[in-house]
Amino acid sequence: MSSATIILWCITAVLLLFSWKAGPETVNRGFHLAWATTKQNTLLIFLAFLIVGFVNILSPQELVKSWIGPASGWQGIILAEFLGMLLPGGPYVVFPLIAILFQAGAGLAPIITLITSWSTQSLLTIGFELPFMGWRFTLIRWGMGLLIPLAAGFTAVILWG
Amino acid sequence: MTINIKKYRIHFVLLIVIIFLGIMAFTQGGWDQVLAGIKDGLSILLQELPLLAAAFLTAGFLQALVKKEFITRWLGREAGLKGILLACLGGGLIPGGPYAYYPIAGALLKSGAGLGVLIAFVTAKNLWSVSRIPLEFAILGTTITIRRYLITFLIPPLLGLLAEWFLGGSITKIEENAQQ
């Protein structure tokens, strides 16, 4: 079991304790709301994980590796923003790949853009965002976020060349 | 009938993506590859079930516990910078992938949190993520990690403020949209 799971279960336990102190009605309401959210999203979560599975076996990592290698400067930064969106998986998958790219000669600025874009613009996480937040929120957050990885990359160029 | 279509709009979007990816997998390696993709997705889902259960319970109890007045005062539109900073802190500290933090963000949205607060929460989760720091240092090294954190440190509160400032009024529409 991952540390994230353990920490989140601890948070759940604390919330449960508070609900228990607040009375049985709050506990019931908590379970009821949790169940309602689960029922409403089971199919969507299932579909989102199917997308994760397909993306995993299509391994866009290879694509990212072959593209970002030689590119540098502002072209590298723009490319890194797009590639960051395509990078699937958690930090355990993505950081080793980024480390390889850095060792292969990718500049600091594209690398920072790549990490930032993977963090905020990842297309794969949208599958989990849409069910809970709706398309309107997703559009606003993702749309506003588009400039962030670029800004981070260009700031890196200004500060550290 | 139109209500039904609206209700399943997101299902359709995800399904279209799945079909598209399925075709790509098929052209790459036939049915074996398609089956491998399905298997891979299901095994990750199974592996993440304990985390999903904790996330849904947290979302449920948050909604049950937190009084509307508390959300309005600390995380609602009137909370201003205070609410946005609080959301950044929460986002930075919460562990787990998108299937863990989006149910919680959804619970906050339903309970009356403002747009700036929600944007700050999600962005801080993505950029500050405390649980990711040790791994980032270990794999990417000190230089990249420190510089990356320095450059993106102000973005979560800044983006939250900007969102609240320009689009904060649309939160009711966003909430209705998420309920569908």
CA distances from A30 to A7, A39, B152 (A): 19, 14, 36
Cβ contact, residue pair A116, B118, below 8 Å: no
Average pLDDT over all residues of chain B? 90
Proportion of chain B above pLDDT 90, given as a percent: 66
pTM value is 0.88
Distance from CA of A121 to the nearest CA of B (A): 9
- Say how far apart CA B119 and CA B49 lie, in whole Å: 26
Is the separation of the CB atoms in A160 and B147 below 8 Å?
A: yes
Convert the pLDDT of each residue in A96-154 to its tens digit.
888 888 887 788 999 999 999 999 999 989 999 999 999 999 999 999 999 999 999 99
Q: What is the DSSP string of A84-146?
A: HHH--S-HHHHHHHHHHHHHTT--HHHHHHHHHHHHHH-HHHHHHHHHHHHHHHHHHHHHHHT
Neighboring chain A residues of B45 at a CB cutoff of 8 Å: 45-46, 49
Is the separation of the CB atoms in A97 and B69 below 8 Å?
A: no
Out of B21, B36, B52, whose CB is closest to A55?
B21
Neighboring chain A residues of B105 at a CB cutoff of 8 Å: 132-133
Out of A7, A16, A50, whose CB is closest to B41?
A50
Residues 6+ apart with CB under 8 A from B90: B121, B124
CA distances from B38 to A38, A49, A69, B20, B41 (A): 22, 9, 31, 13, 5
Q: What is the residue whose two structure tokens read 């959804």?
A: B106
Out of A19, A26, A95, whose CB is closest to B139?
A95
Neighboring chain A residues of B17 at a CB cutoff of 8 Å: 51, 127
pLDDT for res A90 = 81
Best of A42, A62, A133 to mutate (most B CBs within 10 Å, chain B): A133
pLDDT for res A76 = 86
Asked whether the predicted pLDDT for residue A77 surpasses 80, the reply is yes
Convert the pLDDT of each residue in B84-139 to its tens digit.
999 999 999 988 889 899 999 999 999 999 999 999 999 999 999 988 888 899 88
Asked whether the predicted pLDDT for residue B2 surpasses 60, the reply is no
Best of A17, A38, A57, A135 to mutate (most B CBs within 10 Å, chain B): A57
Distance from CA of B76 to the nearest CA of A (A): 16
CA distances from B3 to A38, B7, B9 (A): 21, 6, 10
Q: Is A20 on the interface with B (CB under 8 A)?
A: no
